[in-house]
Structure 1
Amino acid sequence: MQNKLKTHLITTELFLKGSSFYRGIVLTVAIVLPLAILNITNLFEFAPAIALGTFLNAPSDVPGSLRRKINGILISILLTLLVSFIVFVTKPYFILLLIAIAIISFLVSLISVYGFRASLISFSGLLAIVLTLAVEKTDIKAIVLHVGLLGVGGLWYLIVSLLSNWLFPKKDDDQLLSDTLQLTGEFLKIRAKLLTKQNKREKNAKKALILQTQISEKHETLRESLLEGRKRSGRSFSNERRLLIFISLVDIFELALANSLDYSKIDSIFGLHKSHLIVFKKMNKVLGNHLIALSELLIKKGKLPNLEQLNKTFEKTETAIQDYVDVVTLPEARDGAIALRNLQDYQKQLLQEVKAIRRVLKKVKDNTKASLKIKTSQQFLTSQDYRFNILLQHFSLKSPMLRHALRLSIAIVFGFLLGSLLDLKNAYWIVLTIIVIMRPNYGLTKERSKNRIIGTLIGAVIAIIIILITKNTTVYMILAVVSLTFAFSLIQQSYKAGAAFITLNIVFVYSLIDPNAFSVIQYRVIDTIIGATIAIVANYLVFPSWEYKNLDAVIVGVITSNGKYLQATKALYHNKEENNLNYKISRKEAFLAMSNLNAAFQRVTQDPKSKQKESALIYDMVTLNHTILSAIASIGSYILNHKTTSASKEFDTITESIFNTLNNTASKLENNKITKLTTEKETAQAHKRLQQHYENLSQKRDMAIEAGQTQIDNKALLNLQEAHLISNQLLWLKTLSTNLTNAAKKYKSVFN
């Protein structure tokens, strides 16, 4: 009980000190301050429009580079002004208004094709429709004045946002780093469970895929924020510290992926000796918990956690290896001992990265890792293409974004028409619910609808209780401000909680205007349920876009990226210094492509069961691609972090064969001709020679043991590890690429 209470207190403290709550306070201040000032100066008639303009243009202010933030808010201001003016002008003519809403909602929705920030600008444009419907202005002068004041509100929010960024410039970066540390810690703990929990391996593997996607998304945002910020303001100690933490997090992520073991082989080797794996499992868990503890320090500050448990657990891994060798005995124990040694080596590297993060948090100056040149760093940024041609490419019913835009505009028009015909009070709330809830994906729309309804009901019940207890308008005013802050703070973290606070805010604001607050609550609940129902039904029936139909390009993308990653790894083996940068860029692209596939598969699982066509086959494709990525990362990570021998001809032959297999698989999925056939005989001979090399080293070691040399020297150990890893990983990669080809053939026959 005490532990649960302590956890809740820590969670609450992290939230109150985090960037989400800070952003909620900033937006609340930006809205409330003009209302207060203009009320004091007897100019309150201008205040509501300015407050609406502030609220309308806040969504695009999300973590990222300052330049993109400013551009995003300015574009949002122009869009909301245009939308508001058109809706105002057409409002007196109902049919014309419906046509305007349909066209605007369709075109504004399509802006989302330009990425996440663009989708938030699009949301502001859609929100402008609703807020304009809520305001009564018929005179052209009044309309122009109102629209102008909306622009003032938008510019006011931009000023407040820039000021808040100046006061706490690294609030978002620290929150992002904290979130990434926490997710990476959870990822390591899940991977620990994969090692021994055979019966729960598939369940844990799916959890790992979700975490992997979330981590990759955080990495992308951090790259934009840290590297763009570095370009703009140059190098500083605080910037370099955050960059050092980020680089260590990327390395930890790659190390974790690189250590995706062939678990069937591990089960085979350690069948009756799994007890020797327990300490390695514990080491991963301890490392994960340590990263989570460090994540909290970035937000709430405090002392670094003790290193004693980490060091002691790592020391036990050496004992575990020796115990295994003593029990099984050499040479039978060699494969298992090398596997444990590789696992220990991986955990040692993780430990070094964790200690590097600790040094940064101690503010020890160490720029060895942050020596990335600005020109070089820009190559790691994913640039968004804003050409008009991108928009034109989506003008096809095959495009999920076009289908979503059509679906959304039809749902909005239908919702507004239904509310008007039924003469519902505040019928625009139906439209608001549709805009907020509806997403291109059915599953997410359904989930948001459920959370929206539950949140609204919770908010309504709380509001009723408070209204029954007190009729004090001062209390309503305070609660309106407080609920507004928490609504903005929680909407991204917990949509259900955010919806509850939004309902509270609306009820208390209306309670200040209309004494009959219960009617407001009643209509709020009814309109929310109607809007949510329309959103779900529209997603299912109107131009539905089931995820399994959109997977081809995503699967081809990850296969192609994995092929390029393999080629970059091959080049790295030949020359580390010359090919290091290209390897890391290829690695980033491969990780992002895999993240996209993971996210696509999650969307498949959210669709109705009847629309999850061949989900088991799709999952096989996802896991095969993920395992291929992990196997390549395993080779690349070993090459990067160890002194290796020269790359052999056999290595080149096998990697070329695997690359061709991956390329041919992608070509088949795209209905293209096979580019190059692989020579299986030559590949088999190359692998036989690699295996023979490992066996020769093993025999040499056996002879040394027989001669009484029980302690192996470091060079011989590294040579054995390298030969074992390269030989096994290449054989595994070859098998995986062949399995992927077979799965792709089946996939193609089913979906075409």
Structure 2
Amino acid sequence: MDGPTAQWLQRLGAEIAWAYALRLAVALASVLALGVASGRGDLMVPLLLGVFASALAEADDSWRGRLKALAVTLVCFAVVGLGVAGLAARPLALLAALLGCSFVFTLLGAVGGRYRTITAATIILALYAAISEPGAGQALVPAGRVAALLVAGAAWYGLLSVLWSAAAPVLPVRHALSGVYLALGGHLRVKAGMFEPVRGVDLRARRLQLARSNAHVVAALNTAKDAILARTVPGRAPQGALAQLLGLYFIAQDIHERASASHYPYGDWTEVLFHSDVLYRCQRVLHLQGDACTQLAEALRRRRAPEVQAPHGPALADLHASLDWLGRQAQPEWQRPLRSLRAVARNLDRLSTQLATATRPPTEPLRGDTSLLDLAPHSLREAGARVRAQLHVRSALFRHAVRLTLALAAAWGAMQLTDPQHGYWIMMTTLIVCQPTYGATVARLAQRLGGTVLGLVLGWALMRLFPQPAVQALLAVLGGVAFFLTRTQRYTTATAAVTLMVLMLFNHGTGAGYALIVPRLLDTLVGAAIAAAGLLLVLPDWQGRRLGAGAADALAACAAYLRQIVAQYATGRSDDLAYRVARRRAHDADAALTTMLSHMLHEPPWVRRHARAGLDLLGSTHTLLGCLSALGAHRDLQPDPGAHTLPQDDLAGRAAEALAGQIEAVAQALRTHTPPPPGDGSADAWARTLDAAPPALHTEPSLLHLQLAQVCRQMEPLRAAAAQLVQVAPAPAHRHAWKNASK
């Protein structure tokens, strides 16, 4: 089949969202069909809630991993469902069980991402089980059967998920890598803005934008790594399509390092080379390479060969010609920026080579160390150790578990005062709105309220327009599918969809859907208010209190990254696991600091008075990481063995170790909330020594020395930013001071 129809079918088959929607539609529609065919509409609600809970517990994995996760999920669901059923006649005991379930399962999320989704879904299923219990005088489904139906619905959707994973084993990996290259394309275009030779540009704002863009790339890389690890058999190298995708992941890592490289202060380049077009040429190459990454992402998503890439080859040739012309002018003030710009051009050459490699089918198997660091626990002892490590008041997860549990207790009290039989939506709203951070909670609160109002209005209109039960059942299925398709990125729409589904199901089963509109709105308002109050009053986790520790982690990771880089200049380039882990930890810590600051900027003004100091420190740490990335990007530029002299190698090694020690000293000062040790001029002295080091067989200092000198020049701004943060930021709460920690 050719033509537009074939292209549409190919695109439809490549869209992972459509496969997700199809699974949900089959699961929900089959349950509704069973209820209609059997004449037992009372069976539909617990079955549908079981499907919902199972879909919420779903995480990307291989079919074997999903089968294991499904077994764990069903055991958790069965224990919780039967427990709620057994305690239904004893409200206080049921409350204690729900609160214990909330606290314990929230802490179990520390085990890992896969188990975090299972535990969150288990808490929701506990409330589903309570919602589904018959009230006094109601002759509905017996309590034990409710639990069985919840588990049956979960098993049905879980079976569909396992079958889909077996039928399309690597499709999620392709989509994860598509997300990586899409993020890289955006990152390269943001990086191009740093080369704009315009006076008066706010470089500080652009550095912060670059840091946020880098955080998106890091998150996409971690998602892709987890997808690959989930499908890799321990001790066995990936084969076939998975091996090809692993190669694309390694290429993306290298492109990320090269895109992060910072070779020189951009503002100085603008002043010295203001009348030249060379910076515009750098900017154009980066834009075109960003477009090439975006094209590669689209090709991966649609499962087809990449189209002709953007013409960055001629643009690179023009850049080299411009650099050669500037070099022939022999202007003394141009020599320093030209040395760095030549390094930029070499870096862009290699980035172009990597893009070309990514667009060609592999002709030989992967070489070298292809292992990935698996952070998942591999025994009950490791899992238990992770949970025990969270049992202190300084742990963000522990604070969230306590806060959520007490908020649910307050929601239970509000339910008893308003509607003991049907007021569980108050607890459900509190559970969903109460997030670990202030900014996330406020955003979720607004989305939940807006989506609920929108869903109620839409549901009222549709019930009047389509009173037929069959149409309302179809609308319920569509609402459920829309909820899962939009819940991660457009939560307002997702809330409206699930509200519509609930209205349609309730009206389909009882014919009294209109009577649910006002109670549902009031329950949502009360639950959201309780979640907001809990966040402010119970162990609030203000991000500003963690800013120093987050910056310290970023700097310590940079020091370890620097040591790995310089060691490879002595031994030769090798993208082995140790180097890749050090590089990834440095970028992960930088992304975590960026995310922390982003959350802090959404907190109340009285707790973020030191936001300016935090942003300055983020700019300094991200600039430092850029200088280190430039060092890492050029590890393959090794002179001939005879060009090395022991003094030069020793000079670089001693300078790198001294710099790593100074970076770690600043990190320790931030961790202990004390002013960093004052600069003694040694960093500037190292910079002058490295700049003046005689070349080996070249006519200019080695790139290693030039970049190490750039790192030296970052130390004073880094110390100043750290000292400013320590001076204006509040001290972290004492580990035993519960009262002070909650202020």
Q: Indicate the TM-score class for this superposition, using the shorter chain for normalisation.
A: 0.7 to 0.9
Partner residue, 2:498: 502
Q: Residue 258 of structure 2 is aligned with which of 255, 259, 268?
A: 255
Aligned partner of residue 653 in structure 1, secondary structure:
helix
CA offset at residue 260 of structure 1? 6.0
Q: Assess if the C-alpha contact under 8 Å between 1:667 and 1:674 holds in 2.
A: no
Partner residue, 1:278: 280
Map 1:165-564 onto structure 2 (within 5 A): 165-196=165-196, 199-231=201-233, 234-259=237-262, 261-270=264-273, 272-273=274-275, 275-301=277-303, 304-307=306-309, 309-322=311-324, 324-325=326-327, 329-359=330-360, 364-367=361-364, 370-372=366-368, 377-378=371-372, 380-384=373-377, 386-423=382-419, 426-564=422-560
Relative to its length, the structure with more helix (as a share) is 1
Which structure 1 segments of 5+ residues have no match? 1-9, 698-714
Once residues 600 and 69 of structure 1 are traced to their aligned partners in structure 2, the CA distance between those partners, rounded to angstroms, is 32
CA offsets 1:395-439 (integer angstroms, 9 cap, x no match): 222222222112111211212321331238831112111212211
CA offset at residue 15 of structure 1? 8.9
Q: Assess if the C-alpha contact under 8 Å between 1:28 and 1:485 holds in 2.
A: yes
Q: Assess if the C-alpha contact under 8 Å between 1:443 and 1:608 holds in 2.
A: no
Once residues 296 and 490 of structure 1 are traced to their aligned partners in structure 2, the CA distance between those partners, rounded to angstroms, is 21
Change (3 A) 1:391 1:582: closer
Change (3 A) 1:161 1:552: same
Partner residue, 1:729: 707
Instruction: Please tell me whether residue 741 in structure 1 is matched to residue 719 in structure 2.
Output: yes
Once residues 140 and 478 of structure 1 are traced to their aligned partners in structure 2, the CA distance between those partners, rounded to angstroms, is 24
Q: Assess if the C-alpha contact under 8 Å between 1:653 and 1:686 holds in 2.
A: no
Structure 1 residues 655-664 or 106-115, which shifts more? 106-115
Compute the RMSD of aligned alpha carbons: 3.3
Residue type at the aligned position of 2:505: V
Residue type at the aligned position of 1:240: A
Residue type at the aligned position of 2:286: N
Change (3 A) 1:267 1:126: same
CA offsets 1:202-223 (integer angstroms, 9 cap, x no match): 3333232222222212222222
Once residues 454 and 12 of structure 1 are traced to their aligned partners in structure 2, the CA distance between those partners, rounded to angstroms, is 36
Once residues 13 and 744 of structure 1 are traced to their aligned partners in structure 2, the CA distance between those partners, rounded to angstroms, is 53
Map 1:537-616 onto structure 2 (within 5 A): 537-576=533-572, 580-616=576-612
How many residue pairs align between the two structures? 710
Change (3 A) 1:396 1:686: closer
Map 1:633-712 onto structure 2 (within 5 A): 633-640=629-636, 643=639, 646=644, 648-671=649-672, 687-693=687-693
Aligned partner of residue 233 in structure 2, secondary structure:
helix
CA offset at residue 744 of structure 1? 3.2
Instruction: Please tell me whether residue 32 in structure 1 is matched to residue 32 in structure 2.
Output: no
Once residues 68 and 405 of structure 1 are traced to their aligned partners in structure 2, the CA distance between those partners, rounded to angstroms, is 27
Instruction: Please tell me whether residue 108 in structure 1 is matched to residue 86 in structure 2.
Output: no
Partner residue, 1:78: 75
Structure 1 residues 149-158 or 245-254, which shifts more? 149-158
Change (3 A) 1:40 1:166: same
Q: Residue 51 of structure 2 is aligned with which of 43, 51, 54?
A: 54
Q: Assess if the C-alpha contact under 8 Å between 2:194 and 2:203 holds in 1.
A: yes
Q: Give the structure-2-normalised TM-score.
A: 0.87
CA offset at residue 35 of structure 1? 4.3
CA offsets 1:553-581 (integer angstroms, 9 cap, x no match): 32222222111111111210110167854
Structure 1 residues 617-626 or 643-652, which shifts more? 643-652
Once residues 59 and 162 of structure 1 are traced to their aligned partners in structure 2, the CA distance between those partners, rounded to angstroms, is 15
CA offsets 1:457-511 (integer angstroms, 9 cap, x no match): 2223332332332222222122211221121111112212212211222222222
CA offsets 1:129-172 (integer angstroms, 9 cap, x no match): 22112112589993333323433333333321110011121221
Q: Assess if the C-alpha contact under 8 Å between 2:430 and 2:528 holds in 1.
A: yes
Q: Residue 16 of structure 2 is aligned with which of 16, 19, 32?
A: 19
Change (3 A) 1:526 1:372: farther
Residue type at the aligned position of 2:465: I
Residue type at the aligned position of 1:356: T
Q: Assess if the C-alpha contact under 8 Å between 1:187 and 1:211 holds in 2.
A: yes
Change (3 A) 1:173 1:336: same
Q: Give the structure-1-normalised TM-score.
A: 0.86
CA offsets 1:534-559 (integer angstroms, 9 cap, x no match): 22222122221111112343222222
Q: Assess if the C-alpha contact under 8 Å between 1:177 and 1:246 holds in 2.
A: yes
Change (3 A) 1:667 1:205: closer
Structure 1 residues 416-425 or 44-53, which shifts more? 44-53
Structure 1 residues 486-495 or 456-465, which shifts more? 456-465
Change (3 A) 1:396 1:183: same
CA offset at residue 182 of structure 1? 0.9
Partner residue, 1:163: 163
Once residues 569 and 649 of structure 1 are traced to their aligned partners in structure 2, the CA distance between those partners, rounded to angstroms, is 15
Q: Assess if the C-alpha contact under 8 Å between 1:248 and 1:357 holds in 2.
A: yes
Change (3 A) 1:522 1:21: farther
Structure 1 residues 177-186 or 72-81, which shifts more? 72-81
Partner residue, 2:741: none
CA offset at residue 238 of structure 1? 0.9
Partner residue, 1:703: none
CA offsets 1:626-673 (integer angstroms, 9 cap, x no match): 222221121121113555753622111211110111222233334499
Q: Assess if the C-alpha contact under 8 Å between 1:193 and 1:281 holds in 2.
A: yes
Aligned partner of residue 545 in structure 1, secondary structure:
coil
Change (3 A) 1:677 1:415: closer
Aligned partner of residue 639 in structure 1, secondary structure:
coil
Once residues 627 and 11 of structure 1 are traced to their aligned partners in structure 2, the CA distance between those partners, rounded to angstroms, is 45
Residue type at the aligned position of 1:267: T
CA offset at residue 277 of structure 1? 1.2
Residue type at the aligned position of 2:374: L
Change (3 A) 1:285 1:642: farther
Residue type at the aligned position of 1:667: Q
Instruction: Please tell me whether residue 91 in structure 1 is matched to residue 93 in structure 2.
Output: no
CA offset at residue 25 of structure 1? 2.4
Residue type at the aligned position of 2:246: L
Residue type at the aligned position of 1:298: L
Change (3 A) 1:123 1:451: same
Once residues 579 and 169 of structure 1 are traced to their aligned partners in structure 2, the CA distance between those partners, rounded to angstroms, is 27
Once residues 164 and 72 of structure 2 are traced to their aligned partners in structure 1, the CA distance between those partners, rounded to angstroms, is 20
Aligned partner of residue 635 in structure 2, secondary structure:
helix
Once residues 641 and 56 of structure 1 are traced to their aligned partners in structure 2, the CA distance between those partners, rounded to angstroms, is 54
Partner residue, 1:711: none
Q: Assess if the C-alpha contact under 8 Å between 1:460 and 1:521 holds in 2.
A: yes
Once residues 704 and 272 of structure 2 are traced to their aligned partners in structure 1, the CA distance between those partners, rounded to angstroms, is 18
Q: Residue 125 of structure 1 is aligned with which of 113, 122, 125?
A: 122
Q: Assess if the C-alpha contact under 8 Å between 2:57 and 2:73 holds in 1.
A: yes
Once residues 558 and 133 of structure 1 are traced to their aligned partners in structure 2, the CA distance between those partners, rounded to angstroms, is 44
CA offset at residue 308 of structure 1? 5.7
Residue type at the aligned position of 2:265: D
Structure 1 residues 438-447 or 200-209, which shifts more? 200-209
Aligned partner of residue 238 in structure 2, secondary structure:
coil
Partner residue, 1:707: none
Aligned partner of residue 359 in structure 2, secondary structure:
helix
Aligned partner of residue 551 in structure 1, secondary structure:
helix
Which structure 2 segments of 5+ residues have no match? 1-6, 732-743
